[in-house]
Amino acid sequence: MSEISNHLSDLKGSLPETCTLVAVSKTKPASDVMEAYATGHRDFGENKVQELAGKAEELPKDIRWHMIGHLQRNKVKYIASFVHLIHGVDSLKLLKEIDKQGQKVDRVIDCLLQIHIAEEDTKFGLDKEELWDILNGEELRAMKNIRIIGLMGMATNTENEEQVRKEFRSLKALFDEIKNSDHTNVQMNTLSMGMSGDYRIAIEEGSNMVRIGSAIFGIRS
């Protein structure tokens, strides 16, 4: 077994069965993706549209590609025909563009709304007011080619585990609140939180999807 398949196997063995592992292959060559693919893994994440589209073209068609990075509206058209899940929807304008491009390729595109939970200015995401405005707005009801299936968030990059835990907990509470309310085009079943450095805390706080790169593929150059 290769180092990548060993890491993947160890990781999967440590995750609950209910948790989806997105192997973040950004900046890594297609050959690394294929090593992971050979183990039976199918969920891969990229944070740049160009790299995502290139790998999707080159690699097996049964891979479920996750767009995990910040997505610009003018780039949606390059991934609309195949992307499995868009994690970082952080504005109504972006949601409308995804709906428009989904219509063009006759697909309903699954999306996660990205919520700003970190105490850092560098992270993208909606605040609670923006989130409820989208969920309660007329425009969401009119969209036929998107489906919001959950939330995504990134905790502060800090050694302070209590802070990270508090941020993840707040996102889980928000997820549950939305899940218990009724909105058109919304099915709260996916909570994407946790990366290589903090996924264990995220899972303890209720995450059912983690985005892990360096713990599988090694440190990026």
Please report the pLDDT score of residue 183 as a whole number.
Answer: 87
Please report the pLDDT score of residue 1 as a whole number.
Answer: 67
C-alpha to C-alpha distance for 60 and 72, rounded to whole angstroms: 26
- Beta pairing partners, 85: 66
Burial of 166 (0-12, 13-18, 19+ CB in 10 A): middle
Question: Domains in the chain: how many in total?
Answer: 1
Please report the pLDDT score of residue 182 as a whole number.
Answer: 86
Please report the pLDDT score of residue 221 as a whole number.
Answer: 66
| Average pLDDT for 171-191 | 93
CATH of the domain at 93: 3.20.20.10
Are β-strands 146-153 and 64-67 bridged in parallel, bridged antiparallel, or unpaired? unpaired
User: Within its chain, how far is the Cα of 149 from the centroid?
Assistant: 11
Q: What is the pLDDT of residues 58-67, one digit of tens each?
A: 999 999 999 9
Dihedral through CA 129, CA 134, CA 138, CA 139, nearest 10? 140
Name the strand (E) or helix (H) holding 122. Answer: none
pLDDT at 29 over 90: yes
Cα-Cα-Cα-Cα dihedral sign, residues 25, 27, 32, 34: positive
pLDDT at 121 over 80: no
- Domain of residue 170, residue span: 3-217
Please report the pLDDT score of residue 124 as a whole number.
Answer: 82
Percent of the chain beyond pLDDT 70? 98
Q: What is the pLDDT of residues 153-180, one digit of tens each?
A: 999 999 999 999 999 999 999 999 999 9
